[in-house]
């Protein structure tokens, strides 16, 4: 599992997602949907400065809709257009064929999972003891996880 807090800071380039201030001493994580216990998923958290965070909770700053629009834009940046397309295609068709290097970030976030290896490089098919440990997967089938299905539906990637 990736370090979500680090990913959140990276996706905003170390700045408040709303006002853009770049000072790590004043940045905090905001939970978009407030639940108890807190939903700690990647798509429910965003980096705000203390000022914007305070103004949000006082209903004097960014609205929930503002924050959700910004987060959707950040999701597209972080997951890449290719990653979003993989989620959409998998949602529509039940799976997608992809090279691992294109989807590992989605696997790490728990949105898709490997279901079938289609081809490898460096695998000796005659070696019965080889369990792909020394092979490189070049193509595989990936499917959405339950978290991936909820993510796709929540953000309109279906």
pLDDT tens digits, the chain, 158 residues: what are they? Answer: 579 999 999 999 999 999 999 999 999 999 999 998 999 999 999 999 999 999 999 999 999 999 999 999 999 999 999 999 999 999 999 999 999 999 999 999 999 999 999 999 885 555 555 555 678 899 999 999 999 999 999 999 98
User: What's the predicted TM-score (pTM) here?
Assistant: 0.85
Of the candidates 139, 89, 80, 78, the one whose C-alpha atom is nearest the C-alpha of residue 112 is 89
C-alpha 71/C-alpha 47 separation (Å) is 9
Sheet strands side by side (includes 112-121): 96-98, 136-144, 112-121
Report cis status (omega within 30 of 0) of the bond before 144.
Answer: no
Residue 1's CB is within 10 A of a number of other CB atoms, namely: 7
Q: Which residue has the tokens 């680090």?
A: 6
Q: Using H for helix, E for strand and C for coil, what is the string for 26-76?
A: HEEEEECCCCCCCCCCHHHEEEEEHHHHHHHHCCCCCCHHHHHHHHHHHHH
């Amino acid at each position: 599992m990736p370090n979500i807090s680090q990913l959140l800071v990276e996706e905003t380039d170390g700045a408040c997602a709303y006002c853009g201030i770049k000072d790590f001493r004043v940045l905090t994580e905001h939970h978009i949907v407030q639940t108890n216990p807190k939903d700690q998923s990647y798509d429910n958290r965003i980096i705000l400065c203390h000022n914007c965070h305070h103004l949000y909770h006082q209903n004097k700053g960014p609205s929930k809709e503002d924050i959700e629009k910004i987060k959707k834009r950040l999701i597209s940046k972080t997951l890449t257009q290719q990653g979003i397309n993989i989620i959409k295609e998998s949602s529509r068709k039940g799976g997608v064929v992809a090279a691992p290097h294109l989807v590992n970030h989605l696997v790490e976030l728990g949105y898709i999972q490997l279901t079938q290896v289609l081809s490898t490089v460096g695998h000796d098919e005659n070696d019965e003891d080889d369990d792909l440990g020394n092979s490189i997967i070049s193509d595989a089938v990936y499917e959405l996880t339950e978290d991936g299905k909820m993510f796709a539906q929540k953000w309109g990637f279906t």
